[in-house]
Every structure is written in structure tokens, then in C-alpha cells.
Chain A
Amino acid sequence: MNKGQIIKRYLEIIPGTISWGVIIFLILLAIFKPIISAILIIVFDFYWIIRTTYLTTLLVMAHRKLYKQKDREWLSECQRLTNQDWQKVYHLVIFPVYKEGLEVLRPSLEALRQSHYPKEKMVVVVAFEERNLKAKENAKVLETEFQTAFFGYLSTFHPDRLTGEARTKGANATWAAKKAKEFLKTKCIAYEDVIVSCFDADTCVDKEYFGCLTYHFLTSSKPYQASYQPIPVYNNNIWQAPAFARLVEISASFCQMIESMRLEKFVTFSSHSMSFKTLVDIGYWPVDMVSDDSVIYWKAFLFYKGDYRVIPLYITVSMDVAYSSNLFKTIVLQYKQKRRWAWGVENFPFLVSRFLGNNKDISLLIKIRRTFHLLESHITWAVWAIILIFIGPLPILLGGAFFNQMSIGYNLPKITGLLLNFTLVTSVSWIILSRTTLPPRPKGTSWMKNVAMIIEWVIVPFIILILGSTPALDAQTRLMLGKYMEFNPTEKIKKVV
């Protein structure tokens, strides 16, 4: 192990150590110093309520923006731009695929074909994994259906286990981007004029997506020093998905909307777009990391010495709700998906090891701020539900007779109960907003489903119990112990109604 690897290993241990440290510290405090523990719990509960209220307000603001821009005809707006030539912009769309079948890929490609943007300005790459035995067969079927629909259509087959690579989505996407680069070169298209979008296989874009993306690319300052992040929604099969999975994905979508309002912390997630020139300059997506969607942002951030940002696009890309044949399997599936997202904690050693290296162009303040944001978000994710649900009652249970005869022993459950009841108000906002982002009810689905989809919010505490913190704590523990994850795509079921 060289010095860099040792530092990285130490950094990998930090998030899990802090999270476990916080949990163990609070448990020990509840046993030995219940009064101090109770004070900390009240402070945390109050902080959590203020935070939830603040974030819900941001959600309402983001939702309002999304709603206001919903009917904008972006292509027309591009056409009206006088100082920019939108026609020179090409879109390269990459769909990294592993096990996803035609039933998942076909709607995604069809959404591209149905988009309002001129198809002669679009190059589509369906990036298969060579190890998938059905890859060639599926590629042929899709080529027959879609090859003539776009300016360019490529099927790529990423060889398994290339030197220096892990079995990750980023490795496949990078292979596809390099193939696309060769294609663009043959067509004499400048990389500066190409915007690359890396989409999950089930991503169905809004018809105006590429117009919106082009508009923002052409009108923003330093367009190459920015990633473009749409709002992911999980509307493809939301009416068919079971309540548990639906609520989890709605919450994930809302979290992303909230993040879109916090620009100084905003990092790319899932399906997103960026300049192809930037992608080539920074050396493509990481080929050995699971969280390629966020690491690509940090690579660009470091490349541009901190002068790189994510521009939120208030337009949706729709994906599938992940669920399986029964509740238990769905819970396992969702757990694994959230754990994979939480594996984004690997960004911490990646970023800090580079900050610690020869990187003096980024100010210390920015380095500290970004590191803190990154670490704080992952630590909070790993402990919040555990503190609220499991550690909150501990002073009363373990505090003994002395604690229970103190005023704080009597007031703790009353105050925490009162404060947490206040979150019901924010829950009502989430329920209302969830209704407004739903696609139209499919034919054959009873209107009673609307009622059921409101009542189902009562299971949110159960979801918090299972998926609130444990996937993040699991991911951090694995990183802490050096048990690295490989990319394992989430199984998607698509029911046709």
C-alpha cells in the first residue's frame, strides 16, 4: 500500500466511525447520564423539526418552479435565441444497460423518438454489457426499431473485467462514451457542441427535455463548467407499484427536488447531462466506483478547481418504481437500492484525498465547506432515524428511578411527542404535492386508488423504521470495513395497463 492508498483507507473509515460513534455515544449516555442524553435528544428533535419544515418549504418552492415551467416550449425558446445558434448543438444520449430487457429499454427509446427535439441532432448509444447473454439479441431488435430514428444510433458491448475496472455502470458508460467519441469524430462534430446525457435504462424523458437542456446550455455562463440535472420522478409504473415502493420513490424524488434548491450542495444524481467536451477532458466516468453519477461531478469540480456547478432543470425524467413480486422482496429490493445510493459515501475519501493532495487552486474554505456538506449529509442519513426511533426512548427505559423522578424524565416523552406531531403538518404538504406530480390515472384503474394513495401515507413510520437510516449505516460500515460494493442494478418490473 502506498501513502495515498493508506490515507484513502483512513478516510474510508471516518464516516462509519463517526456514525457508529454517535450512536454508541448516545446509547452510553442514556445509560450513564440520562439527563444529558435527554437534553441532546430534545435538541436533536427540535433541530429535526426545524430542518424538516425548512426543507419542506424548499420542496414547495421547487415544486412551484417545476409547475410553472411545465408547459414551456423550450425548443421554441431556443429558436428565439438571437445570440446563440441552437442548431449546432448535438445530443449524445447514453443508456448503460446490464440486465434490463426490451420491456424496459423500448419505452425509454420511444420517449426519445417522441421528444420535440430534432432527431437529426441526436446520437443514441445503447451500452450493453458483453457478459449479458441476451445483449446481442436485444441490440439487434432495438436497432431494427430505432436505428433510422436518430442521426446516429450505436449499440456498444462493454467487455467484462477490463484492467483497472470494477463491474460498475460507470465503466460501461465510459466504454460507450469512447465509442461515441470515435463516431462523432467520423462525423466531424466538435465535442464542444455535444451535450452528453447519461440515463438509467428505464429513463423516459419529457418531450421538452432536450429543448430545456439546450436552452440552459446556451444561456448559462460557463456552460462547460456545469452539469445539468433534471428532476427524477418515478412515474412510469407508479400506479401499479405497491404502496411501500411508491412512497419510497416519491420521497426520493422529493429529496432531489429539495436538493435542486440548495445549489451550493447540489451534486448530480442518477440521470443527468453535461458537456461532452468536459466529459472527455476530465477522463470520463469513474470505472471503478459504484456512485459514478456523483463522482463525475466531483471529478469535474476538481478539474475546474472548484469552479463547477450543477444547474437544476425544472423538467422531469421519469423512471420505474423498483418493486418485486411480494412485499418482502420489495423491501429487500428497496433496501439494496438505498444502500447503493448511500454508497455515495465513497465520494468522501475520493474527494478529501484529492483535497489533501497537490490541489492548492481551491481555497481552504471551499474545501472545508464541501467536505463538511458531504460528510454531514451522509452522517445525518445514517443516524437520524435511529436517534428519533430507537435512542429517543432510551433515557426513559434505561434512566432508572432517579431519572424518572426528574422533571425532564416526565417532560421528555411529552415534548418529543409534541414536536414530532408537528411533523404531521409537513407530512400533509408532502401528501398534497405527491398528488400534483402524479401522471394521469391509467384506464382500468379504479378511482378508489386515489383514496388508497392518500391513506397509504400512514405507513411512512414503518418505512422510516426500515429504510430511514439502516441502508446508509450499512453502506458506511461496509466502507469502514473495506467490504467494497459492486454495482448491482435494481430489478425493475414494468406492468402494462
Chain B
Amino acid sequence: MSIAQRVRAFLFYLSLSIFLIGLPFILSFALGYKFDPRTFKFTKTGLMVLKTQPQGASIYLDGKLFNEKTPTSINELLPARYNVRLELERHYPWVDSVNVERGKITRLDKIILFPLRSNIKHLNKYKISSFWVDEERERIYYINQEENIIYRSDLEGQSFKEIGILPKVSSLPKKYKISPDKERLLIFNQHQIAAAYLEPRNTTASTQAPFVLNYSDRKVCDVFWHSDSYHLIVITNKNIEVLEAKPHTEPVNLVNLNKKNIVAFYDDAKDTLYFMDSQKAADGKFYDNVYELELSSKSYSFQELIKSQDQ
């Protein structure tokens, strides 16, 4: 046998030995067994997976501090109930008692550590009484009802500024609605609808002046902006009408309603109104139905409708 072949034979048997000796240790680790060098026995253990948000928390098991910080896994835990405490500076600690089972994983991976002082930020710069966030989640609108001032800022409270004056109404508004072009705000209560320009470009123009419409004989249920940001669809307890958002406007009655508490939804993407009303059937009885009323300017010219009504 040549020297090379002897070396090769040595390497072969060395590799075989490493395989045969190493394999039980690797498999026992994989299966969760812990080798006890004193007793020369393998004991089946459990495993704990710890993940926190934010990361880097110190881990205490039964009061004993571990070197690792979250996220980590602790292998070879003897089956038992452990008191787990996770600590992170300037955060509330997380404490719980968890059970570790033989050959199984105990997952503590959805832990949120909350800061000691919550991350609160003051957004409004002036006195306000109400606010809302627009549908696009881009701006916050604020209302000061005592002084009838409208403010606006971004979601971080930046660019906070006054953007308009609310017309005075007799009672507290039910809702505030911004027009699709973001240029006007309407508010309404049970008997009044009011609208104002936000950041009016020309304060002297009559078309940009705030106005109030009174509905003393009816109850206003809901008001919607048409997608042209110029017309309003008004739902009262007696009818549905459309009108131009300007002072001294003449509404056009679209539908007379029988039901007093009307439910309506306006799809401004299609300019379609869905509403429920009671209508008399052939048998003479009234039934509740849902109706669709298309108000798209492509198929329905309000200007012409209003003009024809004027004539």
C-alpha cells in the first residue's frame, strides 16, 4: 500500500469516526435532547422562541438573566413552567408564566413592548372643538365652532393653517363634508345646509361667499357632494332634490319619498344614489325597496334640468 493510499485510508476512517460520533449529537440537538455529561444520558428538552417588537429585550427565565437578547431561541430547556420576563430600557416589561414541553417549541413571538411614555404628539396650534381626517388619509380638518373657523394640517400636524370661515348655523352641525375638489366644505343640521369656500381665491366674488339654506318645513337627513363639486344632492324626510351650491339657489325635486327615516348611500365615483323608500304596489300595500338613481353629469345635465325648471 502506497503512502497516499495509507493517508487516504486514515482519512476515510477519520471521516467515518467523525460521522458516527457527531451524528448522535447533531440528531439529539435537532430533536431537543440534552446530553448530561455527569450521567451520560440524553434528556428530552423543549425550546423557546422569543421575538419582541422592538427587538433587543433582555431575557429573564425564573429570574435568571440570559446572554441572548430578542429575537432568539433558547434550546435545551427542561420541561417545566417558567416565569419569563422581558425587559427593554424605557419600555414596560413583559411578564408571563409559560409552559415548556418535551420536544416542542414554545413560541412567544408576538410580543409588543410598549414605551413607558406613549409617543403622543400635539397637532393643533389653535383652539378647536372638532376634527376629522379626509378619506384619502392625507389631511386633518379642524373646526372651531365658537369662532366658526376651519383649519387644516397634514397628518403630522405640519402646515397647520386657517382655511375658511364657517357660516353661522342655528344648531350644531350633524356632519362636515369636503367637496371632491377639496375647495369647499358643507355642513348641515336638521334644518339648515351651509357651505363655505376653503382658501377662497377671490373673497369678493359672490360665487365664493358662504351661504346658508334653510329647510324649516323639512328635516335634512343627508347631503352629498356631486363629483363636479358644484351640485349638492339633498335627502330630506320628504324628497330627494338636487341644487347648485350657491346662495339663492333653486332646488330641483327628483323624487318624493314616502318613508320618513330614509337610508341613502352616494357612490361619488359613479355619481349614483342608492336609497330605500316605501312604494305602493299593485295590491295597494306599501313595501320597502332599494332604488338606484343615476346622477352622472354625462347622462343627466343638471344645468339643463335647472334651466327647464326655471322656465
Contacts and interface: CB of A to CB of B under 8 A. Distances in A.
A407 B22 contact: no
Interface stretch (B25-33, B80-88, B180-188, B277-285): B25-33
A46 B30 contact: no
A407 B27 contact: no
Contact of A411 (B5, B11, B19, B30): B30
B4 A65 contact: yes
A43 B43 CA distance: 20
A38 B29 CA distance: 13
B104 A406 contact: yes
A61 B4 contact: yes
A46 B22 contact: yes
B30 A38 contact: yes
Interface string A28-41: 00000000001100
Contacts of B19: 46-47, 50
A54 B4 contact: no
B164 interface: no
- Contact size class for B? 20 to 34
A404 B109 CA distance: 14
Most B C-beta atoms less than 10 A away, residue of A65, A263, A404, A410: A410
Nearest to B44: A407
Contact of A409 (B5, B18, B29, B105): B105
Interface in B30-53: 30-32, 45-47, 49
Given A408-B30, A410-B105, A46 B8 contact: no
Interface in A402-422: 404-412, 415
Given A46-B23, A405-B105, A407-B46, A415 B15 contact: no
A412 B30 contact: yes
B18 to A, nearest CB: 6
Main secondary structure of the interface of A (DSSP, over half): helix
Contact of B15 (A51, A262, A405): A51
Contacts of A87: none
Interface string B73-105: 101000000000000000000000000000111
Interface string A209-230: 0000000000000000000000
B290 interface: no
A415 B105 CA distance: 16
Nearest to A62: B4
Contacts of A65: 4
Contacts of A57: 11
B8 to A, nearest CB: 6
The DSSP consensus for interface residues of chain B is: helix
B31 A407 contact: yes
A39 B30 contact: yes
A307 to B, nearest CB: 17
Contacts of B12: 54
Interface string A128-155: 0000000000000000000000000000
B11 A58 contact: yes
A257 B30 CA distance: 36
B35 to A, nearest CB: 15
Contact of B27 (A42, A51, A263, A410): A42
Given A58-B8, A61-B8, A406-B103, A43 B27 contact: yes
A480 interface: no
B32 A50 contact: no
A407 B4 contact: no
B103 A61 contact: no
Nearest to A260: B4
Given A54-B15, A405-B105, A410-B49, A39 B27 contact: yes
A201 B261 CA distance: 96
A50 B22 CA distance: 10
B7 interface: yes
Nearest to B103: A407
A408 B23 CA distance: 14
Contacts of A261: 4, 8
A410 B8 contact: no
A410 B76 CA distance: 13
Q: Closest 10 CB pairs between A and B?
A: A407-B32, A54-B15, A411-B30, A407-B47, A50-B19, A408-B30, A410-B105, A50-B15, A407-B103, A405-B105
Interface of A: 38-39, 42-43, 46-47, 50-51, 53-54, 57-58, 61, 65, 261-263, 404-412, 415
Given A58-B8, A58-B11, A263-B5, 18 more contacts: A39-B27, A42-B26, A46-B22, A46-B26, A50-B18, A54-B12, A61-B7, A65-B4, A405-B105, A405-B107, A406-B103, A406-B104, A407-B45, A407-B46, A407-B104, A409-B105, A412-B30, A415-B26
15 contacts: A39-B27, A39-B31, A42-B26, A42-B30, A43-B23, A50-B15, A57-B11, A58-B11, A262-B8, A407-B30, A407-B104, A409-B105, A410-B73, A411-B29, A415-B26
